[in-house]
Structure 1
Amino acid sequence: MGQMTDLAAVLIVRNEARCLARCLASVKHWVDKVVVVDTGSTDGTVSIALAAGAQVHHLAWPDDFAAARNYALECADAAWNLIIDADEWIEQGGAALRAFCEGGERLGRLCVISHDDTDPSSPQEVRSWITRLIPRGARFTGRIHEQVDSTLPRHDLPVLIGHDGYLTAQRIGKQSRNLPLLLAELAAHPDDAYIQFQLGKDAESYGQHVQACEWYAKALASTPRAPWRHDLVVRHLHCLGQTGRLDEALQLAEAEIPDYAASPDLFFVLGNLCLDSAMIDPTHAISHWIPRAIKAWQTCLAIGERPDLEGSVTGRGSHLAQHNLQTLQDGLASVS
């Protein structure tokens, strides 16, 4: 590859021997170099990186993801930088990276598909659009869930990044690390709705639905019209349902439908809330709640998949909604 628009894959790592080789193999055909900053690995991470041809640098962990990312960017010293984590890999669309770099200064958002088994009975693939392709000089801010601090325009690329860091086996070791950083960030920025949202997600991922609702409510009360608001609303609805606050959840869903009338995720969760309501209000189940649930899931199918929506879950506009409809209809047939 030519060096006029040299492109580096840039990683910060620590004890990633489980998955690092997969990541590096997925990026090597699309970049000019790979720069790895190790923050104190005690397993085979460094050896794996070196064997894959990566440049390896070392940094004592600064308790600040943005600081570590910015150090790695300095080490890379590239015209363009693909930011990727060791528990991620390019699934599709790698060729679009180079083409984007030749189109002038801007920021590229990639679709990260996170495999999530928080609910073992219903594993999910959650899609997030994250700024990951950045030009020289762009830098990060934030101790955790760091963001690119830039006024450059952001464009979505047809690049899919797989991510398995939210699987239970990987998530267990992150709670003691993430929560203190989130709370420290909140202490520094007490009115930051994005940090409140991330605290809610952290609580939800460990089944702490009551606490998640508290954080989501705070974030929703002050959140800007940001792309992640869709994810916030849908997650809040789900957690309200999980804590039995069905009336509050249904009111919120109705209030948000005008903004998210084309969201299969919102209608999917609305269908679940209506079915839960039928269970606790059997008198009105057949006449009201079940028809509402059916209508909500049919709306999901009419809308179809919306991978462009932040936090959209694969299948809510297709097979997951169809499964719920079929299961409910089979149940109704068996008692008729």
Structure 2
Amino acid sequence: MSRKPVIAAVLIVRDEARCIARCLDSVRPHVDRILVLDTGSTDGTPLLAAQCGAQVHHLPWPNDFSAARNHALDLVDADWNLVLDADEWIVSGGEQLRRWCRAPRLGQLCVHSAMEGTATGAERRNWLTRLLPRGVRYQGRVHEQPVSPLPRARIELHIRHDGYLAGQLARKRDRNPPLLRRDLRDRPGDPYLLYQLAKDAEIGGDLVEACAHYAAALEASPLEANWRHALVVRQLHCLGRTDRMDTALALADAEMAHYPESPDLFFVLGNLLHDRAQTDPVQALDQWLPLAIGAWERCLAIGERPDLEGSLQGCGSHLVRHNLETARTQMRLLGMQQELARLVA
């Protein structure tokens, strides 16, 4: 009889008293051990982790996420390592872990991130490589990635993440960009690093800088990169918010052939066309609003696509239905105004 594989949850943490128990309580039923590497907490995080059953180790912060994660992986003796952040927690699929950990591969989990400034309950979904067989290690000072020639496959293990909410973002804004720029000095022009630098700029509110980095990343990114879909959608959004409407519409037109079944792309395209209707009221009724409605109707025809990297929940359902109702109401009102103007004339 073959030995049952040992599965460990592995975390690096610092000042996570707010959420560490939630994370560890969610993962404990599904793993054999939990290892927490603390990098300098002052809020009692190590004690809370120990009370939740974790083995707690300490390391002065090395200013390098890969170095910290790899040190934690060196400390744990497990056949499979489930890598989590403290602001994440398992919501479903944990029971699949043991069945899944049988073949040599890396597991991609679906992380649902609550997003600030979206409709109530809106989440962005990303498939992240977090389930690692023994021996796999990370590369990259920040937004680190596991490096392995093994194939990657998705496991229906769903994680929630609240680290993108406004109250949790402040410490990341100052920390991440310098580390990314150091990596870019080592790997100049790397499209994934440029993409992550753009995301950090966008989240920090510097949309002009974000557009520039997204454009550079898009120019260098391979079409098959799983994160390219999210890159395109984010760039369209940023171009629209910086009033570069013609550039945004041209990019959307070029990318439709690559992502014809993306509700996210058609959702942001509809937003762009609707914004154009507000700035060009003369053509709104006959051109921009019908085009926006057509794009949003395409979203509903496609439906939700949680399998697409970076997809926003609702782009194929409730978010787009709200937009359609608004645009159709505007069309009726504009039509009435034009008819009244014709009668008066």
- TM-score range (shorter-chain normalised) is over 0.9
Query: Residue 3 and residue 20 in structure 1: after superposition, are their counterparts in 2 closer, same or farther (change >3 A)?
Result: farther
Q: Which residue of 2 aligns with 1:237?
A: 236
Q: Which residue of 2 aligns with 1:50?
A: 50
Q: Which residue of 2 aligns with 1:129?
A: 127
Q: Which residue of 1 aligns with 2:187?
A: 189
Are the equivalent residues in 1 in contact too, given 2:289–2:331 (CA < 8 A)? no
Q: Which residue of 2 aligns with 1:150?
A: 148
- Distance (whole Å) between structure 1 residues aligned to residue 263 and residue 324 of structure 2: 14
Deviation digits for residues 263-289 of structure 1, max 9, x if unmatched? 000000000000111111111111110
- Distance (whole Å) between structure 1 residues aligned to residue 18 and residue 309 of structure 2: 28
Alignment TM-score, normalising by the size of structure 2: 0.94
Over the matched positions of the two proteins, sequence identity in percent amounts to: 56
Q: Which residue of 2 aligns with 1:286?
A: 285
Residue 254 of structure 1: how far off its partner (Å): 0.3
Q: Which residue of 2 aligns with 1:59?
A: 59
Q: Which residue of 2 aligns with 1:171?
A: 169
Structure-to-structure mapping, 1:69-84, within 5 angstroms:
69-84=69-84
SS of the aligned residue for 2:264 comes to: helix
Q: Which residue of 2 aligns with 1:68?
A: 68
Residue 122 of structure 1: how far off its partner (Å): 6.9
- Distance (whole Å) between structure 2 residues aligned to residue 245 and residue 270 of structure 1: 13
Residue 330 of structure 1: how far off its partner (Å): 2.5
SS of the aligned residue for 1:261 comes to: coil
Residue 96 of structure 1: how far off its partner (Å): 1.2
- Distance (whole Å) between structure 1 residues aligned to residue 5 and residue 216 of structure 2: 43
Q: Which residue of 2 aligns with 1:216?
A: 214
SS of the aligned residue for 2:61 comes to: coil
Are the equivalent residues in 1 in contact too, given 2:9–2:83 (CA < 8 A)? yes
Amino acid at match of 1:318: S
Q: Which residue of 1 aligns with 2:342?
A: none
Amino acid at match of 2:80: W
Residue 92 of structure 1: how far off its partner (Å): 0.8
Are the equivalent residues in 1 in contact too, given 2:64–2:142 (CA < 8 A)? yes
Q: Which residue of 2 aligns with 1:92?
A: 92
SS of the aligned residue for 1:145 comes to: coil
- Distance (whole Å) between structure 2 residues aligned to residue 311 and residue 326 of structure 1: 25
- Distance (whole Å) between structure 2 residues aligned to residue 168 and residue 111 of structure 1: 22
Deviation digits for residues 22-52 of structure 1, max 9, x if unmatched? 0000000000000000000001101100101
* Higher Rg of the two aligned structures: 2
Residue 4 of structure 1: how far off its partner (Å): 2.2
Residue 208 of structure 1: how far off its partner (Å): 1.1
Residue 190 of structure 1: how far off its partner (Å): 1.1
- Structure 1: where are the runs of 5+ without partners? none
Alignment TM-score, normalising by the size of structure 1: 0.97
- Distance (whole Å) between structure 2 residues aligned to residue 139 and residue 288 of structure 1: 53
Deviation digits for residues 47-101 of structure 1, max 9, x if unmatched? 1001011000111111111111111111112100000000000011111111111
Q: Which residue of 2 aligns with 1:331?
A: 330
- Distance (whole Å) between structure 2 residues aligned to residue 332 and residue 250 of structure 1: 21
Deviation digits for residues 119-159 of structure 1, max 9, x if unmatched? 36677311110100010001110001100100100000111
CA RMSD between the two structures: 1.3
Residue 332 of structure 1: how far off its partner (Å): 3.1
Deviation digits for residues 177-196 of structure 1, max 9, x if unmatched? 11111111111111100000
- Structure 2: where are the runs of 5+ without partners? 337-345
Residue 294 of structure 1: how far off its partner (Å): 0.1
Query: Residue 3 and residue 57 in structure 1: after superposition, are their counterparts in 2 closer, same or farther (change >3 A)?
Result: farther
Q: Which residue of 2 aligns with 1:114?
A: 113
Residue 116 of structure 1: how far off its partner (Å): 1.3
